Amino acid sequence: MQILDRSIALGILLTSGYGMAASGDDEKILTVRAVSEPSPEIAQLIDKIAQPVIVRVASGVTFRELIVRQCGGVTESYIELIKDKPEFKKSGLDGPLEEGEIPLPACLYYFKPFDAARVTVRTGDTAYGLYRMKTGGGGTESELVEFFGEPIEDLSKLKPGKELPIAAVSLPVSLPIRPGSEALIEEFRRIDPQGLTVREARSVEGEIVMGMSTGEIAASDDCETPSAPMNAKAVYEAYRFSKELSEDEDINVDGGRANIAIVDNGFFGALSNTPADKAFDGSPFRRKYFKADSEYTLAQVIRLDKVLQPINYSYGLKPDLESGHGTHVTGIVLGGPDLEPYFDRMRSEPWASIAIINIGLGARSLIKGSHELLLAQLRDDNRYRVVNLSITHDGLLDRNVRNNYQNLFSLAENTLFVVAAGNDVGKDVVDKAIIPAALGGAGVPNVITVAAIDGKHKLTKFSNVGQNAVDMAAPGCEVRSWISNSKEIVAMSGTSQATPAVTNEAALQLSLAINAKAATLKNRAISSGDLLPESERGKTVYEVSANPVRSLFLFKDYLDVQDGDSVRSLLGEIVNMPPLTCLVAHGKARKKVEDMFSIKRAEGKSYFFGGMGIGRIQPPCLVVDEGQAGISFVATHEVLSTGEVVKMGTPLEKVWPVERVINFVARTPIDELR
């Protein structure tokens, strides 16, 4: 067994709590990863070596749920460690617990899927590499055969697209060591000298994707024109209209709050060490949009010797363009200054519940251990449904970081991760292994990697790109938000400003249909978008930018159509459309209405977005026979230029030539929203 045993200035404990804690000075941290299922002897030693984890418990949660979140599964050896706790004697494994705090024994994370979990082989994958990604282990031939359940001959000739069963998934954890436990670490090494059960997992370093206004790479012509501001009134009208329909469809009858996590360098939007009813006084942010524990810290925290607070004022920091980055991002997630006047008018308000995960303490560099912390914080997909990630790691320096994020996205399959592409002046995120941005794309249903566009709807010079991984774009030039608890508005540019715009869009959708899956939210964000100019084609997967207004009409088919000299925006139901012919990689293919997410037209060309039949939107294909087809559509409502939605006195039934259809977006299937 190989163990990382070192002293660092700031250690981070991975737990199933809701925040982070900083250790004392010179705290010793043990960073390890289970390679195979930990034995009872290993479990007992981990408990003796590592300090217990203080877990915040919500009312009604069970011990089984807490253990699965922290350790991946329940074992008899772990039950042995907690059997004498008063809470366990009272509630047992499956009885409801009372709200409060419980110290739990530390453990390694090792998850054995209950269902037949599978991994899809990609170009360049090997059985050895996939085994290492899922377990961290080296993998002998016999281990590979046992893990995947297939002959070594088949495993040595893997082809892209093949699905392999996986027996287990492990993740690295960082554990604070008990004082005087050095002898036990030597005992640990004696039990597993070859590293067959546990191996070293070096803590991963990373950075916040900072705004261009900080001067990181900024040039005078990076943003030729500011991005267009949000049409807040139209967003409000679309949300209000769809909220009424969601209630008619018995969706979110009691209202819904989108649980959002913002992973960044902290928050200045509220005062620290201030009573809850005063902390947000004078701030453009509202307390009701933020998660809060009994101390109103904006996110429940994990305690070691100290507490790492979400609010940067706790550390004597002052807001500026760098330290206020996370605050600026948070403002955009909430809709920014444009949507702020409508906050109090939103139905079922508050629509968002935000947790601040501060992994930068106002700085550009991530604090040590924050990567492992995120793996623990975010792998439970019932806690946060949308996660905004403005962070980056160099996957060329540390190949394990790719594997760790892939495992995280696989485990938290019902969480939508919205990721900044990065500001490295047009680099391809896959070629440069920019992680986690390089993990987006058509094959990953719960990750959206976001590039930035300017006011001319073109990709900015600073934005990274990626035909196979950067999914879409959003406004990222001189985006207005706040960097403190004052109402002063500051403009910043970057993909980290574009990303929260997509997070805002997805979270608004989720609040309309709180049971919507991550894949459904991704499908909707892309299918409702606007085509990028032809000059920008081939730089992103789906070649669209976000359209928050259109995305909110979940319950109606949507049609933008040229009608004489004007463009009309209609809501209703598509009746029929004959098959269309599309150019695809291998030639031509017929596309049917049943498989259609969207049709979009720009610069004299129409593009078909399919995949409805498999529940996963596909990249667009060029339609070559649109002149022969029309969309039969029954309109019941019209969206006016003011954003107001009005009901037609008489439904309008008409066949519109595809050549006149600027945007058709199919409604989201109702069974995906309930």
Catalytic residue at 390?
Answer: no
Catalytic residue at 393?
Answer: no
Q: What is the pLDDT of residue 137?
A: 61
Q: What is the pLDDT of residue 576?
A: 94
Query: What are the DSSP calls for 431-485, one per residue?
Result: TTTEETGGG-STT-TTEEEEEEE-TTS-B-SS--B-TTT--EEEE-SSEEE-SSS
Residue 183 Ramachandran class (φ > 0 left, ψ -120 to 50 alpha, else beta):
alpha
Q: Which of 5, 264, 428, 530 is catalytic?
A: 264
Q: What is the pLDDT of residue 407?
A: 86
Strand segments (E) across 252-390: 258-264, 352-358, 386-389
| β 258-264/386-389 pair status | parallel
Q: What is the pLDDT of residue 12?
A: 21
Q: What is the pLDDT of residue 22?
A: 33
pLDDT beneath 70, residues of the chain: 1-29, 114-117, 133, 135-139, 185, 188-189, 191-205, 211-221, 252-255, 292-308, 346-349, 369, 381
CA distances 423 to 391, 412, 428, 451, 495, Å, are 11, 27, 11, 9, 6
Say how far apart CA 152 and CA 419 lie, in whole Å: 37
pLDDT tens column, 539-558 = 999 999 999 999 999 999 99
Q: Which of 5, 23, 325, 410 is catalytic?
A: 325
Inter-helix orientation angle 141-148/127-135, to 10°: 70
Catalytic residue at 325?
Answer: yes
Structure tokens at 209: 């994707």
Q: Which of 463, 496, 545, 598 is catalytic?
A: 496
Q: What is the pLDDT of residue 299?
A: 61
